[in-house]
Amino acid sequence: MKFAKRVQDLPPYLFVGISRAIAKKKEQGIEVISFGIGDPDIPTPKSVIDRLKIASENPAHHRYPESEGLPEFRESVAKFYSDRFGVDLDYKTEIINLIGAKEGIAHAPLCFIDPGDIALVPNPAYPVYEIGTMFAGGETVFIDLLEENGFLIDFSSIDTNTAKKAKMLWINYPNNPTGAVANLDFYKEAVEFCKDFDIALMHDACYTEVTFDGYVAPSILQVPGAKDIAIEFHSLSKTANMTGWRVGSAAGNPDLINALMRVKSNIDSGLSQAIQEMGMEALALSKDWINENNNIYKNRRDKVVSTLQEIGLDAKAPSATLYIWTRVPKGYTSASFTEKLLEEVNVVVTPGSGYGTAGEGFIRLSLTIPDDQIDEGLNRLSKFTLK
C-alpha cells in the first residue's frame, strides 16, 4: 500500500530512537540511566488527583465536551494570566482549552498555512513546529539560534523577502532544548517584527513556571499590542507534573483563537471535562507548592552541571526549564558523543542534532528522573573520561 507523501517524508519522532536504544540494552540485561525525554517523575499533586475523583462522578462530564473547553476552565486560565502576568483576557473569546499544548501547536499551522506558505521556525527547536507546518503543506524556513546571542532570535538576520512571504513565526522561551530565557524587550521586538510583516506570532510558553534562582519568566501578552497578532501556548504538563493528563491552553488574539477552535472542532472532540477540572485545580496551586517543586529540579540541575563540568564539559546552569544544554567535546558530533556515553557508561542523553541542524555539537540532559537514578547516572558519568 502506498502511503501519503506527508507520511513518507515524516522523520521518526526524536524520542522513538532513544526508546529503541534503551530497549536494546535492556534485552542484553543492561540497566540504562536515561536523561532523555522530559517527562516529570514527580507525581501530580494530591489535591489535583482528588479533584479528578470527585469530577469523574459528575454525569455531565461523561458526555462530549465542547472543543473550546469548559467556561470555568477558561475563566481559571484568565485568572492565572491576571494574577501571574497582569494580563487581562476575555475567557469567552481569547482562551481555548487544548488536549496538551502539543496538540494545539500541531494544529495551529492548519489555521494560517496554505500549501507553499512559509513558517519561520527557530533552530534548534521542539520538532512539532516543523512537523505541523509540513502537515499543512507549508515550507519551514529555519532561523538559527546562536550561543553568542543567548539562543535568542536575531530578527535582523531574517531576509526581508522571506519575511514578506512568511505567515507564521514560532518562538519558545524559556526555551526547549537550550534553556535560554527572554525578556520583555525581546518580546517587544518579536511583536514589532510580526506586525511589520503581517505574521501570526506563536509563542510556546510551556516552561514559564519552571524557573530558578529568582528568575520570573514574562508572557508575550504583556507587550502592548501583542494580542493583535499573537497566540501563547501554555501547558500544565511541566508546571504541575501532569504530562499524562494532557491539559493545556492557548490565549491571545480572538480571531486567531477562533480559527484554532474551528480547526479543533473538526478534528477532535475536546478534553474530558473531568480532566479540565483537574486543570482548574492545578492552575490554583500555591506559589509555595510551585517553588518547592522547582527546588527539586534546581537541586538536580546543580548536581548535573557540577558533574558535567568535572568531566570537562562546558555546562552552564539554566535559569529555567528542565534541561541542561551543553557542547560536546572537540572531535565528537552530537550523535557520536551520545553513542559513546551509551556504550561506555550506559547513560542516555539526547543529541542536539535531533532538534535541528543548529543543535549539532550539543547534547541535552533532562532533570526528570528520580534522584536515586540521577545520582547513579552522575556516578557513571563521573567515571567517563574524554579520550
Work out the average pLDDT over 52-60.
Answer: 97
Give tens-digit pLDDT for 358-375. 999 999 999 999 999 999
More confident: 87 or 38: 87
Supply the pLDDT for residue 13: 64
Own/partner long-range contacts of 180-184 (Cβ < 8 Å, ≥24 apart)? 180/145, 180/150, 180/151, 180/152, 180/318, 181/215, 181/217, 181/318, 181/319, 181/320, 182/152, 182/218, 183/218, 184/218, 184/222, 184/223
Q: What superfamily in CATH does domain 5-43+288-382 come from?
A: Aspartate Aminotransferase, domain 1 (3.90.1150.10)
In the chain, ranges of CATH 3.40.640.10 domains? 46-283
Half-sphere exposure of 74 (CA within 13 A, CB side): 21
Work out the average pLDDT over 226-250.
Answer: 98
DSSP readout, 101-139? HHHHHHHTHHHH--TT-EEEEEES--THHHHHHHHTT-E
CB of 210 closer than 8 Å to CB of 290: no
Supply the pLDDT for residue 387: 61
Give tens-digit pLDDT for 270-316. 999 999 999 999 999 999 999 999 999 999 999 999 999 999 999 99
Alpha carbon 110 to its chain's center: 19
In this predicted structure, the answer to whether residue 169 has a pLDDT above a threshold of 80 is yes
What are 343's three cell numbers? 556504550
Question: 227 pairs with which residues across the strands?
Answer: none
Alpha carbon 205 to its chain's center: 7
- The architecture (CATH level 2) of 46-283 comes to 3-Layer(aba) Sandwich (3.40)
Supply the pLDDT for residue 194: 99
In the chain, ranges of CATH 3.90.1150.10 domains? 5-43+288-382
Work out the average pLDDT over 189-206.
Answer: 99
Supply the pLDDT for residue 347: 96
Q: With both helix axes pointing from N to C terminus, report the angle between 71-85 and 273-283 in degrees, rounded to the nearest 10.
A: 20
* Segment holding 251, helix H or strand E: strand 248-252
DSSP letter at 95 equals E
Supply the pLDDT for residue 14: 63
* Cβ neighbours for 305, distance < 8 A, ≥ 6 positions apart: 315, 316, 317, 324
Give tens-digit pLDDT for 317-349. 999 999 999 999 999 999 999 989 998 999 999
**CA–CA gap between residue 106 and residue 93 (Å, rounded):** 21
CB of 251 closer than 8 Å to CB of 232: yes
Q: Is 155 exposed, middle or buried (0-12, 13-18, 19+ CB in 10 A)?
A: middle
